[in-house]
Homo-oligomer: A and B are copies of this chain.
Amino acid sequence: MLDYWKDYPNLQQKLTLVQDLMAERLVIQNKEIEGAIQAFSTKGGKLIRPALFFLFAEIAHGEVSDEKFVKIAASLELLHSATLVHDDIIDDSPTRRALPTIQSQFGKDIAVYTGDFIYTIYFELLAETMTGTPFLMKNAKSMKKILQGELHQMSLTYQKDQSIWQYLKSINGKTAELISLSCWEGTYFGGADLVTQARAKRIGKAIGLAFQVYDDILNFSLDLGSDEKPILTDVVQGIYTYPLLAAKNNSPEKINPYLIHPENLSIKERTELAELVAETGGLEDALIFAEKLTEKAIREIDLLPESASKETLKSITVDLLHRAY
């Protein structure tokens, strides 16, 4: 998946170092499970969080080739990987990133400990790089917010009277927190001033929220039968996202009947519901909201110190937030 970065060879090369470091650390006795963890953590994703971290570090500092930066970048991806392994247990997902999930290969039991084990490597990298900085504590706080977000989302499951505000609060923890931390850490460890650090944090928050809302939109707009992400899996699992909640606000009488037993929706009913969410303006409202966040991110990126990395950041932000179109 690092092909995604082929137009940015300098960044791609750093992300390769991050992959190598993760593979070097994710070592356990059972080689079969080790292989699966390594494949999952190093081969599957785009490494968006490490990429943002490097770009912000470079904006602050110029070239960053110190091993410390590679370790911090890896810590961000590992925290993300650990939560994904545990998410897949909960979603019972057969695949993630076009690879079988740990739980589908080895069962829930191994997946629980595997996620925990990845947390330990994350923690080890922090201990190696952040002692004496405020970012050890900030990582602890972020990890706490992420988990509170996940627990909050779980407690909203099948709650059809939740507000868009509650949904945003849960994705703020679940997704935006770590992306924001990635950007913030980049500027801090790159040596940026406090104004730039605060800006990086806000940019990350906006990118993270927009990223998740677009992802949620995709769940409503992908063609039926696509292997990558089948339509309305979220609704069936009782996870009500922006498009659905906006549609329900606009036309409760049309949407509510589908939320009586969403876990039993047939493919036909899911198609109807997806069409209703579009017709009643739910998709459009979500898109407008995500567009505003993207614009906010771009506006703030424009205010960062000039550099080649800033231009890269701008184009990948636009690209990441428009991947559906």
Distance between Cα atoms of A33 and B157 in the complex (Å): 14
A interface, size bucket: 35 or more
Report the minimal beta-carbon distance from A83 to chain B, rounded to whole angstroms: 8
Contact B124 A141 (CB under 8 A): yes
Chain B residue nearest to A32 in the complex (CB): B155
Instruction: Flag whether A241 is at the interface (Cβ < 8 A).
Output: no
The answer to whether B112 touches A155, judged by C-beta atoms less than 8 angstroms apart, is no
16 contacting pairs across A/B (C-beta < 8 A): A33-B155, A86-B116, A90-B112, A108-B108, A110-B151, A112-B115, A113-B154, A116-B147, A117-B151, A119-B143, A120-B140, A120-B143, A123-B123, A124-B140, A124-B144, A131-B132
Does chain B have a CB within 8 A of A324? no
Whether the Cβ atoms of B132 and A109 lie closer than 8 Å is no
Docked complex: A115-141 residues within 8 A CB-CB of B: 115-117, 119-121, 123-124, 126-128, 131-132, 136-137, 139-141
- Tell whether A136 pairs with B147 under 8 Å between CB atoms, given A109-B154, A112-B90, A119-B119: no
Scan residues 129-183 of chain A and give those whose CB is less than 8 A from a CB of chain B: 131-132, 136-137, 139-141, 143-144, 147-148, 150-152, 154-155
Are A89 and B115 neighbours in the complex by a CB distance under 8 Å? no
Query: Which residues of B lie under 8 Å from residue A131 when comparing CB positions?
Result: 131-132, 136
Bound-complex Cα distance A139 to B123 (A): 9
Interface, chain A (partner B; CB < 8 A): 28-30, 33, 82-83, 86, 89-90, 108-110, 112-117, 119-121, 123-124, 126-128, 131-132, 136-137, 139-141, 143-144, 147-148, 150-152, 154-155
Residues on B with C-beta less than 8 A from A121 are 144
Counting from the closest, the 9 A-B pairs by CB-CB distance are: A124-B140, A120-B144, A30-B155, A117-B147, A90-B109, A127-B137, A120-B143, A127-B136, A127-B140
Q: Looking at the complex, which one of B86, B117, B124, B127 makes contact with A113 (CB distance below 8 Å)?
A: B86
8 Å CB contact of A28 from B29, B109, B148: B148
Question: Could you tell me if B112 and A112 are in contact, using CB atoms closer than 8 angstroms?
Answer: yes
Quick check: B112 and A151 within 8 Å, CB to CB?
A: no
Provide the bound-state CA to CA distance between A151 and B28, in Å: 8
Q: How far is the CA of A209 from the CA of B180 in the complex (A)?
A: 43
In the assembled complex, the CB of A35 is this many whole angstroms from the nearest CB of chain B, namely: 13
- By beta carbon, the residue of chain B nearest A91 is B109
- Residue from A28, A108, A113, A115 with most neighbouring chain B CB atoms (10 Å): A113
Given contacts A119-B119, A136-B136, A137-B127, contact A147 B90 (CB under 8 A): no
Across-interface contacts of A89 in B (CB, < 8 A): 108-109, 112
The residue from B112, B132, B139, B148 contacting A117, defined by CB atoms under 8 A apart: B148
- A154 adjacent to B117 (CB under 8 Å): no
A113 CA to B87 CA, complexed, in Å: 9
Interchain CB contact under 8 A, A148 and B29: yes
